Amino acid sequence: MRDLQKERLAMVEEQLRKRDIVDHRVLKAMAKIPRQSFVPADYQSFAYEDRPLPIGEGQTISQPYMVAIMTQSLEMKGDERILEVGTGSGYQTAILAELCRLVFTVERIPALIQKARVTLQELGYRNILFLDGDGTKGWPKKAPFDGIIVTAGAPEIPETLLSQLAEGGRLVIPVGPRYTQTLYKVTRKGDHFKKEEITGCVFVPLLGDYGWKE
């Protein structure tokens, strides 16, 4: 039998710590959360490999390193309210729920959000609110957010999301052409938005009113 706990700790050492993941809270959360619970049964033995995996509906769970670098870029201390666009499997959602006060997560594919809700409930999370719909519009009724994370690739940064950032808030989002993007971190200072490049990446498309058209 495979020891998935051991594989998880090896993933944290080899794929995260040896690269540039230095936030101890992020490393701790990734060492704790069972990624295998978020992937289809056929893929559970690959849960700690250095790559994305299919989760059905043509979507993927991101590579562990990508989850870690995006999470680290949000610079959470513990008291934040965070918006996530693209719940998918709910794995990134669980990491966020470990590290902040409240997670607001939006997903456009009902079958995925239903499955993620069950998985996250079974794991005991009580600080996550789910919305079934187009996350390119954000979640206006719950704004502003201390952080916003978009886990699908956008053609450009949606203004709607910038407007829902709190003062000092961070938006982490992959932006660029359909099949290859750059991960950006945007920080709000009053009416000014400071934009930094983090790394190259490949995400499934962000589909919606302020994303790619279907």
Residues designated catalytic: 62
For ligand SAH, the closer CB: 129 or 168 = 129
**Distance in Å, CB of 191 to ligand SAH, minimum:** 26
Instruction: Give the H or E element holding residue 199.
Output: strand 192-201
What is the per-residue binding string for ligand SAH in 137-166, x denoting contact by CB under 6 A? --------------xx--------------
**Distance in Å, CB of 175 to ligand SAH, minimum:** 14
Q: Which of 71, 72, 136, 181 binds ligand SAH (CB under 6 A)?
A: 136
CA-based nearest residue to 36, from 21, 26, 46, 23: 46
List phi, psi (to 5°) of 130: -110, 145
Residue nearest ligand SAH, Cβ-based = 88
Strand partners, 150: 85
Note whether 80 and 25 are within 8 A (CB).
Answer: no
**Distance in Å, CB of 91 to ligand SAH, minimum:** 4
For ligand SAH, the closer CB: 81 or 108 = 108
What is the per-residue binding string for ligand SAH in 95-134, x denoting contact by CB under 6 A? -----------xxxx--x---------------------x
Q: Which of 88, 169, 174, 176 binds ligand SAH (CB under 6 A)?
A: 88
For ligand SAH, the closer CB: 94 or 190 = 94
Kindly list the distances between the CA atom of residue 61 and the CA atoms of 193, 209, 210, in Å, as whole numbers in the listed order: 29, 23, 22
CA-based nearest residue to 99, from 69, 78, 70, 124: 78
Note whether 139 and 160 are within 8 A (CB).
Answer: no
The percent helix, strand, coil of the chain (3-state, each to 5) is: 35, 30, 35
Half-sphere exposure of 80 (CA within 13 A, CB side): 27
Q: Which of 15, 72, 89, 164 binds ligand SAH (CB under 6 A)?
A: 89
Three-state secondary structure call for residue 113? helix
Residue 91 sits in the site that holds ligand SAH (CB under 6 A): yes
Residue 70 sits in the site that holds ligand SAH (CB under 6 A): no
Task: Give the footprint of ligand SAH on this chain (CB under 6 A).
Answer: 55, 59-62, 85-86, 88-89, 91-92, 106-109, 112, 134-136, 151-152, 204, 206-208, 211
